[in-house]
Amino acid sequence: ARRVVLASRPQGAPTLENFRFEEVELSDAQQGEVTLRVLYLSLDPYMRGRMSDAKSYAAPTPVGGVMEGETVCEVIRSRHPDFAPGDKVRARTGWCTDAVVKADIVHHFDTHGAPITTAVGVLGMPGFTAYSGMKVIGQPKDGETVVVAAASGPVGSMVGQIAKLAGARAVGIAGGKKKCDFVREELGFDAVVDHRSKDFASDLEAACPKGIDVYFENVGGHVWDAVLPLLNQFARVPVCGLVAQYNGPGAADHDRLPATMSAILRRSLRIRGFIQSEFVKDHYGAFEKEIGPLVASGRIRYKEDVVDGLERAPDAFIGMLTGKNFGKLLVRMADI
């Protein structure tokens, strides 16, 4: 089997030197284990956090350890009664082509007839992140304005569509014309603003004539600067991700704390960070039941960005952190 390990910890943006490819001999599956062939690897922004040894909600990947990640796999051999050869499953195998793993990290999934890739995208962890963050913290209401950045990605695209289902107005923020067109025309957002435009802040203000009631925070940085003055009294801000700062401070960064604290106080904002896993127990069942059929029927739309071959995973991952992906980023293993 081929796999990718963390060769060294990145300083700032990751580079190809931070990753190393290894060839390993797989052992035979023991009692309680399954042998898997990876079909698709999901690449997600949280992996940047695992590459760093800064204290966080999850332990870092050790240097020399396999890069973490969730995959869609086919069961090749099984020594566990819940799985049989040929089953398509979701598992945390990490970045590799094949793996022998304990059955407790392997899960069956039901995509209601949608493609199996959705099990790690719109119908998997990213979709659930949007669903639970909106349900528990955002709580959009009829007629309110909901804003989300990284709007063409798996989390943002679901946030906007959930806002629409709740009767709210969905305003997306995305990088570049292609993504903006997609968000408005294909995903059905009411308005979209390009954060790379020099008029970004005034464009966002024009797109939100009644201010912002829910801002689903995916990026931070200059997007937060533009959003903050527009937040209405009692606005809710689920803090889901800060991808603009995962690689460290940018040249134009400044201290945002005084302005943020002042707005929290004066406008009674509710800002609440979350990690989706905290909501799994109470909300995952409802997510699957409500959202699965809407995706399968085409009512909820999504986009995938598929690159071919494990060799391309590091480069594709590095690019995602600056917006080179267009949709849910996946690696299709070479031989399927």
- Would you tell me which residues interact with ligand NDP (CB under 6 A)? 44-46, 126, 129, 149-150, 152-156, 174-175, 179, 195, 218-219, 221, 223, 240-241, 243-244, 274-276, 320, 322-323, 325, 329
CB of 240 to ligand NDP, least distance (A): 4
Comparing CB distances to ligand NDP, the nearer of 1 and 135 is 135
The total of other beta-carbon atoms located within 10 Å of residue 270's CB is: 14
CB of 70 to ligand NDP, least distance (A): 11
Comparing CB distances to ligand NDP, the nearer of 45 and 292 is 45
CB of 226 to ligand NDP, least distance (A): 10
CB of 335 to ligand NDP, least distance (A): 26
Residues in a beta bridge with 92: none
CB of 149 to ligand NDP, least distance (A): 5
Comparing CB distances to ligand NDP, the nearer of 35 and 135 is 135
CB of 85 to ligand NDP, least distance (A): 31
Comparing CB distances to ligand NDP, the nearer of 126 and 292 is 126
Comparing CB distances to ligand NDP, the nearer of 35 and 276 is 276
Comparing CB distances to ligand NDP, the nearer of 83 and 215 is 215
CB of 200 to ligand NDP, least distance (A): 10
CB of 306 to ligand NDP, least distance (A): 13
Task: Yes or no: say if 189 and 171 are a contact pair by the CB < 8 Å rule.
Answer: yes
CB of 76 to ligand NDP, least distance (A): 29
In SS3 terms, the chain reads as CEEEEECCCCCCCCCHHHEEEEECCCCCCCCCEEEEEEEEEECCCHHHHHCCCCCCCCCCCCCCCECCCCEEEEEEEECCCCCCCCCEEEECCCCECEEEEEHHHEEECCCCCCCHHHHHCCCCHHHHHHHHHHHHHHCCCCCCEEEEECCCCHHHHHHHHHHHHCCCEEEEEECCHHHHHHHHHHCCCCEEEECCCCCHHHHHHHHCCCCEEEEEECCCHHHHHHHHHHEEEEEEEEECCCHHHCCCCCCCCCCCHHHHHHHHHHCCCEEEECCHHHHHHHHHHHHHHHHHHHHHCCCCCCCEEEEECHHHHHHHHHHHCCCCCCCEEEEECCCC
Comparing CB distances to ligand NDP, the nearer of 94 and 221 is 221
Comparing CB distances to ligand NDP, the nearer of 26 and 242 is 242
d(CA 272, CA 137): 7
Comparing CB distances to ligand NDP, the nearer of 10 and 154 is 154
Q: Spell 196-219 as b/e; 16+ CB within 10 A means b.
A: eeeebbebbbebbeebbbbbbbbb
